[in-house]
Chain A
Amino acid sequence: VNLRYLLFITAIFWGLQTDLLLWAIPMGLVLEARFFTDRRWTLDKQDFYRVADLTTVGLLGLIVFLLVNAREYHFITALIQWLPIAFFPLVTVLAFSTTERMPLDVLFHSLRRQRTPVTQSWDLDYLFFGLCLVGSGMGKARLDYYLPVVAGLLLFALFRLRSPRYPLRTWLGLAGLLLALTFASQYGLRQAHLGLKAWTQAWIEQLLQQRNDPLRAKTALGSVGKLKLSDAILFRLQMPDGVQPPALLQEASYDLPTGNDWMSLTPELTKVPHRGDFSWSIEEQPDASGSLRGIDSSAATVITTRVYREFEESTTLLPVPTNITAINDLPALDLYRGEFGALQARGLLPAPDYKMSFGGIAHLNLPPTDTDRHVPAALAPVLAEVLAQQAPIATGANDPRKVLEGVFRDFRYSLQPEDGGALPLQHFLLNRQAGHCEYFASASVLLLRQMGIPARYAVGYAVQEYSPMLGMYLVRERHAHAWALAFLDNQWQVVDTTPAIWAANEADAASFAQPLFDLVANGLFLFRNWWNAQRIEDYEEMLYLLGGLLSLFLVWRISRSEQVHISQAPPTNTTIAVAGQDSAFFQAIAVLRQQGFERGPGELPATWLTRIGQQALLPALMLHNRWRFDPQGISAAEQQQLRALVEAWEAQQLPANTTADDPPGPPA
């Protein structure tokens, strides 16, 4: 009774806050309806167990649904928002049953086996109330009225339950004080969080330079300790039948070596114009003067491939072939391109896949500038020395690839970095002659430049693993690669000097359980693809049928249970209804009392009447006794007769009473 009206209002508020009003209104009405009907079902433990099990199944279903649809719903948010719906059947069944509180063994399966009966119980109305309050706060909307409404509802519930120990003004004063305190502290919490967030963000940014920065690439040159890249599958590539994938997908290229890192100095990113919703055409290339000129790719065969990738950040670089022509179905707000072949998608939304088309000449990287010929002064002597050693061997000196082949002929691939001192590249070239792709790529770029050829450092992924299970190419995090770009024959060409063994080498380092992980990951991927292809419309009829059957079963179950009217339930204070309470004979007794006649203790009414000379009342007494004590009672006609007898007697008494000076008194 305490939550009358309150539960309804709370449910409506929850519905408004979570856009579930269509659920909230019927739920609120159903819960409120119990205060307008006295009909209750006498359900036993087994019935409650069944409903609780149903709730559990529903809850599990909800969790699975949310996990599978993690792209569309924020798991915790949606779960908490929908919890009132999940618990509604249980709350309703309890509300309309003769049980007041839910024993805990109904809610917790583990308690059902316990030998001693469970005595603890919960008031599910309050649980529902709390779930609605929490659920309504899970939305992202920053609504100013959330706190006042919630505080109002909560204090109203507490007001009805307040202790009679304190006067009302104490309670009201305290409530006001607490509200003020609450508003101040929630503001403080928010500000504290914002401050903390700003501080940690700055700190993390300082700590980590992320790969999705088109202006700076951090390398592991010179760092010590074994490099171990994750085996996790980053994305999957579906090629048309019989078509080889591009060997390398470039994320960005850089022109300026700074210590152990590579940077690019042109920070401007230009927006790629939309061709349609979520599709962009990248067939233009700005020339040296800065104006865009179209690329004629009509002659080349354009291949379209589908990329399955779940973006974890809203802004990221797309790994693409450098002869990319178009991107379609990419769930991003905008696409930007940099001068050094970086394609950056911004405002990415969760969606399973996108398409990219490529073909023709590589045009993503802009023509070389002076920076592409720059060699750091510290390394120039080393590079010259290395090239000088090669000069006699490399007869075809005009082919720089041959020269580089010669340089790196005896180099080994190694994921075990070594402390190379201040100049790790010098250590790599002269002493160690082993390293990972970043060493090879960096050294190649600088050697090419030393030979007078414009060169750049490029990063991205190598596409090399085919999964027969999926019929797709898998790109893992450890397939990340770096290579050199050389401007030869008037276009940028890939010069990858890393020994070809690197891929096998990396694969050897993978965990032995990798096939198992892959199986699970690929299985989930296939399931999600299938699930995404499903549409609820296809199953509509089946769902209606299932829902109908379930409802029918529930209605049948409940209608079979015994029903009682709570107003008819045996009252706790036992006032037993006695027949004949309104017997006219009592009037006669009252008249006799007025006259001063009292029945002695233990004296039978008949004896009494005889003693005081009122035998005239004996027939009426007979009827009266039958009315009161005969289980079958007396008929309406006999009641009428009794009344007539008493009235006749009273009519006789009245004149006698007024005339008699000295009525026969009561016994002493």
Chain B
Amino acid sequence: VFRDRLFRAYCRFARRGSQRRRRYTERGRFVQTGMVVCGALGIDTDLNLIYQLFALLACLLLGTRLTLWLHPPSVSLRRELPKYVTAGQAFDYRIHVTNSGQRVEADLQLVDNPVVQLPSRQQFEQQTEPGEETRNAYDRWIGYHRFMWLLRLKTGITLATASVPTLAIGNTRAVTVRGEPLRRGLVQLDSMSVLYPDPFALYSGQVHFPQPAQLLVLPKRYAVNPRFAFPGSQRRQPGGTAASQATGDSDEFVSLRDYRQGDGLRRIHWPSSARRGKPVIKEFQSEHFARQALVLDSTLPASVLFEEAIAVAASLLLGRPTSGAGADPMDLLFLSNTTELISDAGGSATIQQLTALANLHSSPLAFTVLAQATLRHASLMSGCVLVLGSWGADQQALVAGLRARQVAVLALILSPNSQTLADLPADCRQLPLGQVSEVLGSL
């Protein structure tokens, strides 16, 4: 019953908390704390003079609170969000602020409000915050930190407060806001708030500008060893079946596209980049390629392991070379409610694949469905990367089946702890949680 009450209190606090916290500036909180302390110390006016200080601080807080109506800002806002962002990577975006009033607007602050997603009671009970074991017994019992962690994770993004430069009448300035997505999937933004101080800068008044928007957050990614040769490339299998399919790509220029993280510097088209003010990449047509498949075991239950599996898959999709040998198309095969295959035949489906991973939920289907689908498509593959969450009989059978069909295999097996799996074949690698980054970096 106590935990239940606590949880509901946290929820109430979370709904209004952030806006209420913004109401005071740091200085205002200091003055407020001072007032409370002075109120306690000065309760006996015979004993000391603190009641005079209390009166001063109380009048200061009360008086300045009333002055907030003096000069509320009149501005209009327009948000400019990026198309995609990556979980765990901070990004900047711009909000254009226009002074639409008859006075110069100075000393304003801008903050974007995500839609607060409350965790469910069940999540509060079951999920544990990373590093919770290092907290003290009281904190663990109260669960405040866990709740706040869940709240941040569910809401999915933290957005910094940005200062607005002084705006002359009718002037528009762009303000750069820094955000950090905390998880993959869609993040909802609700409104923007403009904060303005009172003359003593103890309080912040708030003007809200409802402007719903949403942001697609791609899965978290790790750096993959750039020298890693994906299975099925000619280097790994000289004289094998795969070699006849992949004999390299021609430098037939096809198009220009925006820079994506991981693109080689050599492929930047400098004249276009200079003209457009951002890096632009030359794309070449691959005429001969080894076709690879990335198979993700999405039947894992929703957990840290599942999230890590998606992160590994996303890392591999973007981590392979984008030019030269090994820059081969990679199809993505996974289960949602049905079997899904996102083909990369044109070499430009990566963003669709990442979008699919961003929105992926744990599949109710069995692993054997995925295994059958993989074997069905084996004839198209020269190499196959499997991202698995366990190493059972089904998984071993799938690897054996692929080998029998002359497909080069790399199985990456995520494990919740670093306990070594017994008799792992050479083409299978274990990725213990917490060491994923190291293993992928040294493949």
A residues contacting B by CB (< 8 A) are: 74, 76-77, 80, 110, 113-116, 126, 130, 133-134, 137-140, 142-143, 146-147, 150-151, 154, 158, 161-166, 170-171, 174, 177-178, 181-182, 185-186, 189-190, 193-194, 197
Query: Least Cβ distance of A375 to chain B in Å?
Result: 47
Instruction: Tell me, in angstroms, the Cα distance from A197 to B201 when the chains sit together.
Output: 37
Flag if B107 contacts A140 (CB, 8 Å): no
Cα–Cα, bound, A158→B67 (Å): 16
Known interface pairs A134-B37, A166-B71, A185-B59; A146-B197 also in contact (CB < 8 Å)? no
Whether, in the assembled complex, B70 has its beta carbon less than 8 Å from a beta carbon of chain A, the answer is: yes
Interface hits, B24-39 → A, CB 8 Å: 27, 30, 34, 37-38
Chain B 17-61 interface mask (CB, 8 Å, partner A; 1/0): 000000000010010001001100110111111111111101110
Max count, chain B CB within 10 A of own CB: residue among A80, A146, A166, A170: A166
Q: Are B107 and A130 closer than 8 Å at their CB atoms?
A: no
Q: Which of B339-393 contact A (CB under 8 A)?
A: none
How far apart sit A428 and B194, CA to CA, in the bound complex (Å)? 82
Which of A113, A115, A151, A158 has a CB less than 8 Å from the CB of B200? A158
Q: Which of A74, A140, A163, A189 has the most CB of B within 10 A?
A: A163
A133 touches B53 (CB 8 A): yes
- Which residues from 157 to 213 on chain B have a C-beta closer than 8 Å to any C-beta of chain A? 166, 196-201
B49 partner, pick from A74, A146, A162, A174, beta carbons under 8 A = A146
Instruction: Assess whether A185 is in contact with B55, with CB atoms less than 8 Å apart.
Output: yes
Specify which chain B residues have a CB less than 8 angstroms from the CB of A147 in the assembled complex: 49, 52-53, 55-56
Contact at B53–A134, with CB atoms within 8 Å? yes
Cα distance, A659 to B108, chains bound together (Å):
64
Q: Are B197 and A165 neighbours in the complex by a CB distance under 8 Å?
A: yes
- Name the CB-closest residue of B to A148: B52
Instruction: State A606–B55 Cα separation when bound (angstroms).
Output: 77
Residues B51 and A134 in contact, CB atoms below 8 Å apart: no
Q: Which residues of B contact A158 (CB under 8 A)?
A: 27, 200-201
Question: How far is A140 from B48 in the complex, measured between Cα atoms in Å?
Answer: 5
Which of chain B's residues has its CB closest to A197's CB? B46
Contact B41 A182 (CB under 8 A): no
What B residues does A116 contact at CB under 8 A?
A: 131
**Interface: B134 (CB within 8 A):** yes
| A230 CB to nearest B CB, Å | 26
Q: Residue B302 at the A interface, CB < 8 A?
A: no
20 residue pairs A–B, Cβ–Cβ below 8 Å: A80-B41, A134-B38, A137-B53, A146-B52, A147-B52, A161-B200, A161-B201, A162-B201, A163-B106, A163-B107, A163-B197, A165-B196, A166-B199, A170-B70, A170-B199, A174-B67, A178-B60, A185-B59, A193-B44, A197-B46
Most chain B CB within a 10 A radius of its CB, from A77, A162, A174: A174
Nearest first, the 8 A-B pairs at minimum CB distance are: A186-B55, A165-B107, A137-B49, A115-B131, A147-B52, A193-B45, A163-B197, A182-B59
B226: interface (CB < 8 Å): no
User: In the assembly, what is the distance between CA of A74 and CA of B49, in Å?
Assistant: 15
Q: Is the CB of A189 within 8 A of B45?
A: yes
Interface pair A185/B58, CB less than 8 Å apart: yes
Query: With contacts A181-B63, A182-B59, A193-B51 known, what are 20 further pairs, Cβ within 8 A?
Result: A77-B47, A130-B34, A134-B34, A134-B50, A137-B38, A147-B53, A154-B56, A158-B200, A158-B201, A163-B199, A165-B197, A170-B199, A171-B200, A174-B64, A178-B60, A182-B52, A182-B56, A186-B56, A193-B45, A197-B46
Q: In the complex, how many angstroms separate the beta carbon of A526 from the nearest chain B beta carbon?
A: 31
Interface residues of B in 62-104 (CB under 8 A from A): 63-64, 67, 70-71
Q: CA A361 – CA B27 in complex, angstroms?
A: 73
Measured between beta carbons, the chain A residues less than 8 angstroms from B106 are 163-165
Interface size for B (C-beta < 8 A) is: 43
Of the candidates B50, B54, B58, B200, which one forms a contact with A162 in the assembled complex, judged by CB atoms under 8 Å apart?
B200
Asked whether B261 is an interface residue with its Cβ less than 8 Å from the other chain, the reply is no
| A161 adjacent to B49 (CB under 8 Å) | no
Given the interface contacts A147-B52, A178-B59, does A163 sit within 8 Å of B67 by beta carbon?
no
Contacting pair B49 A143 (CB below 8 A):
yes
- A133's nearest neighbour on chain B, judged by CB, is B53
Q: Which residues of B contact A174 (CB under 8 A)?
A: 63-64, 67, 199-200
B30 pairs with A130, CB closer than 8 A: yes
**Residues of B contacting A194 with CB < 8 Å?**
45
Return the contact of A137 from the options B52, B64, B70, B136 (Cβ within 8 A): B52
Q: Does A115 contact B134, Cβ atoms closer than 8 Å?
A: yes
Contact of B48 among A138, A154, A182 (CB under 8 A): A138
- A150: chain B residues within 8 A (beta carbon): 52-53, 56
Chain B residue with the shortest CB-CB distance to A177: B63
The smallest beta-carbon distance between A471 and chain B, in angstroms, is 39
Chain B nearest CB from A319 CB (Å) reads 30
- Do B41 and A151 have beta carbons less than 8 Å apart? no
How far is it, in angstroms, between the C-alpha of A77 and the C-alpha of B41 when the chains are bound?
9
CB pair B71–A165 under 8 Å, yes or no, is yes
Q: Would A166 and B70 be within 8 Å (CB), given that A80-B41, A143-B49 are in contact?
A: yes
CB distance from A492 to the nearest CB of B (A): 43
Kindly state the separation between the CA atoms of A537 and B51 in the bound complex, as whole angstroms: 39
Which residue of the partner chain A has the closest CB to B130? A115
